[in-house]
Structure 1
Amino acid sequence: MTNFEFFNPTKIVFGTNTIAQLDQLVPANARVMVLLGGESARKNGTLAEVKAALGAREVHEFNGIEPNPSYETLMQAVEMIRAEKLDFLLAVGGGSVIDGTKFIAAAVPFVGEPWDILTHFGGNIQSALPFGTVLTLPATGSEMNHGAVITQKATQTKLPFMNPLVFPQFSILDPSKTFTLPERQIANGVVDAFVHTIEQYLTYPANGMVQDRYAEGLLQTLIEIGPKVLAKPQDYDLRANLMWAATQALNGLIGAGVPQDWSTHMIGHELTALFDIDHARTLAVVLPASLMLRSESKREKLLQYADRVWHLHHGSEDERIAAAIEKTRDFFEAMGIKTKLSDYDLGPAAIDAVIAQLAAHGMTQLGERQDVTLEISRDILTAAL
């Protein structure tokens, strides 16, 4: 295990009827911007609960943050916040709304062109507005980390950034707020959390025994409850476990002191930016193909994954690895998520476009060993056809 520092200041408030605690969590004199995606929070009553909890505070709303939050839309919110001199942000939604809020929090006080935050991957952030979140969609873990991904529509550029200044001050997680979510979004959330865990686990041995067992527990939990959360949408305990697993999958704990991959995400981001495919669905396309093609460099951890997560104990090493990858693909398919580019009507021309974007964005040496070159990325995409 390598040296590491772990820091996570986000306060989690978990459970039913917890939105009322906003009155204690948000400063009494705050001038608040509530940031939203679509109309679901308004229709299901969540927004009304939020506004009731905020009481007499000055509250403004910004609606319309996309599933892949765009720079263009977020800058509209930045200008509104600057004009109204607002000083606290509250994200009400899923990972996209929270990601967008992180960018807005950093962009409002930023001196210069805010897109530079993305091109510098967040390293140039000097200050940020305080903000909290009310999570309504378990998936990305953005409610308890300091990273985000933003898309510039004009150039079809999707870039991540990270900075400790954009940790949420608090996040309210009420599993009952997920009861009305469409099946597609819940399925996406399960797969998103699963791949987040895989990217920090399926690399090479680093003697991170705690991290490995923690990651394996998350994976097994998601495998166990994945189909059930679709079949029983009103089951509070299932939704609670999904929500907490998704948060834990990317709050920094399982990745501390161990190598991390993230090549599946970088390739997936380009698919989303170019072809508007749901983020989780691009991950489900890329991951099985990547594991298959990179199975030699991941051999030891793939065997551990086959043994501990899928309980595959018979056959040769190669047979167990192949079976574990196939079970991963089957799990995604069982969640109703397709795993081939052709399922999204994409062919070889799409691969050329993705490779061009990876090259343009400097994504030429990806993975835990930085050995996923453009040629290997092309091979992965070809295998995913």
Structure 2
Amino acid sequence: MYSFDYYNPTHISFGEGKIAELDKLVPSKAKVLVLFGGNSAKRTGTLDEVKTALGQRDIVEFGGIEANPTYETLMQAVAVIKEEKIDFLLAVGGGSVIDGTKFVAAAALFEGEPWDILLSWGAKVTEAMPFGTVLTLPATGSEMNSASVVTRKEFQAKLSFMSDHVFPQFSVLDPSKTFTLPERQVANGVVDAFIHITEQYLTYPVNAPVQDRFAEGLLQTLIELGPKALSQPDDFDVRANLMWVATMALSGVIGKGIPHDWATHMIGHELTALYDIDHARTIAMILPGMLDCRRDSKQEKLLQYGERVWGISQGTIDERIDAAITKTREFFEAMGIKTRLSDYDLTAASIDEIMTKLEKHGMTALGEKQDVDLAMSRKILERNL
């Protein structure tokens, strides 16, 4: 296991009715900008519940943050902060709203062109506004980490950044707020969390059994709970455990002291930016081919994954790896998420377009060993066509 530092200052308030805790969590004199996505926060009553919990605090609303938050929209929020003299941010929504709020928190105090936050992967961030979150869609783990992904429509670019300055001060997780989610969003959340785990787990062994066993347990829990989350939408225990799994998948714990991959995400981001396909669906259509094309470098962990997560222990090495990849694809399909580019009307010509963007954005050496070059990326895309 590698040496590492671990830091996570986010206060988690978990359980039904926990939105009321906002009165204690948000500074009493704060002028709060509440950021949210579409109309669901209003329609379900969550936004009203949040405003009630905030009591007499001065509140300004900013809605319209997209499912893939855009630089253009988020810069409008930055303008509101400066005009209204906001001093605290509150994200109400899923990972996209929280990711967007992280960027806004950093951009509002950034000296220079805020796009440089993303071009520098967050290295230029020296401060950020304080903010908290009310999670309504478990998927990304953004409620308990310091990472964010933002799309700039003008450039058809989807870039990420990380900074210790954008950890949420707190996150409120009330599983009952997920009862009204559409099946599509629930399925996306399960698969998104699953692949977050595999990006950290399916690399190569470094004698880190704590991280391995934790990751395997989370994957098994998603496999068990995913179908139940679709068939039993009002089961509190199912939704509570799903919410916590998604948070743990990317809170940083399972990724410390081990190599990371993230090539699936980097290629998937290009598909989202180009074709506006749901993030979870882009990475679901990349991962099976990614594992197939890189089976030699990932052999030990793929065999471990097959045996410990799927119970595959018989057959040749290739047969066991084939079975593990097939089980993964079948799980995604069972969640209602298609796993081929052609399922989304993408063709060989689309692959050429994706390759152009990967090269333009410098995605020429991806993966835990930096061995996913452009030729390998093309092979992965073709394998998934």
Quote the residue 1:321 is aligned against. Answer: 321
User: In percent, how many aligned pairs have the same letter?
Assistant: 67
* Cα distance in structure 1, aligned partners of 2:257 and 2:349: 39
Quote the residue 1:36 is aligned against. Answer: 36
1:265 lines up with 2:258 in the alignment: no
Quote the residue 2:357 is aligned against. Answer: 357
SS at match of 2:92: strand
1:13 lines up with 2:13 in the alignment: yes
SS at match of 2:155: coil
Q: Alignment RMSD, CA only?
A: 0.4
1:227 lines up with 2:227 in the alignment: yes
* Cα distance in structure 2, aligned partners of 1:210 and 1:278: 32
1:142 lines up with 2:142 in the alignment: yes
* Cα distance in structure 1, aligned partners of 2:382 and 2:87: 48
Quote the residue 1:287 is aligned against. Answer: 287
SS at match of 1:206: coil
Quote the residue 2:338 is aligned against. Answer: 338
Deviations 1:19-49 (A, max 9, x none): 0000000000001000000011111111111
Quote the residue 2:162 is aligned against. Answer: 162
* Cα distance in structure 1, aligned partners of 2:127 and 2:297: 40
Quote the residue 1:177 is aligned against. Answer: 177
Q: Offset at 1:242?
A: 0.5
Q: Offset at 1:318?
A: 1.0
SS at match of 1:309: helix
SS at match of 1:246: helix
Q: Offset at 1:187?
A: 0.1
The equivalences for 1:201-216 within 5 A come to 201-216=201-216
Q: TM-score, normalised by structure 1?
A: 1.00
Which amino acid in 1 is paired with 2:96? S
Q: TM-score, normalised by structure 2?
A: 1.00
Quote the residue 1:94 is aligned against. Answer: 94
Deviations 1:41-79 (A, max 9, x none): 111111111000100000000000000000000000000
Corresponding pairs, count: 385
Gapped regions of structure 1 (runs ≥ 5): none
Q: Offset at 1:293?
A: 0.6
* Cα distance in structure 2, aligned partners of 1:224 and 1:166: 33
Deviations 1:166-185 (A, max 9, x none): 00000000000000000000
The equivalences for 1:44-193 within 5 A come to 44-193=44-193
1:240 lines up with 2:249 in the alignment: no
Quote the residue 2:199 is aligned against. Answer: 199
* Cα distance in structure 1, aligned partners of 2:82 and 2:375: 45
Which amino acid in 2 is paired with 1:203? T
Q: Offset at 1:313?
A: 1.2
* Cα distance in structure 1, aligned partners of 2:260 and 2:350: 27
SS at match of 1:34: strand
Q: Offset at 1:316?
A: 1.0
* Cα distance in structure 2, aligned partners of 1:208 and 1:18: 35
* Cα distance in structure 2, aligned partners of 1:69 and 1:211: 31
Which amino acid in 2 is paired with 1:244? W
Quote the residue 1:26 is aligned against. Answer: 26
Deviations 1:356-378 (A, max 9, x none): 11111111000000000010000
SS at match of 1:154: helix
Deviations 1:116-169 (A, max 9, x none): 101001100011000000000000000000000000001101000000000000
* Cα distance in structure 2, aligned partners of 1:107 and 1:83: 14
* Cα distance in structure 1, aligned partners of 2:188 and 2:299: 28
* Cα distance in structure 2, aligned partners of 1:23 and 1:53: 6
Gapped regions of structure 2 (runs ≥ 5): none
* Cα distance in structure 1, aligned partners of 2:187 and 2:298: 27
Q: Offset at 1:211?
A: 0.1
Deviations 1:262-318 (A, max 9, x none): 000000000000001000000110000000010010000000001100001111111
Deviations 1:184-227 (A, max 9, x none): 00000000000000000000001011000000000000001111
1:384 lines up with 2:384 in the alignment: yes
* Cα distance in structure 1, aligned partners of 2:342 and 2:304: 31
Which amino acid in 2 is paired with 1:74? L
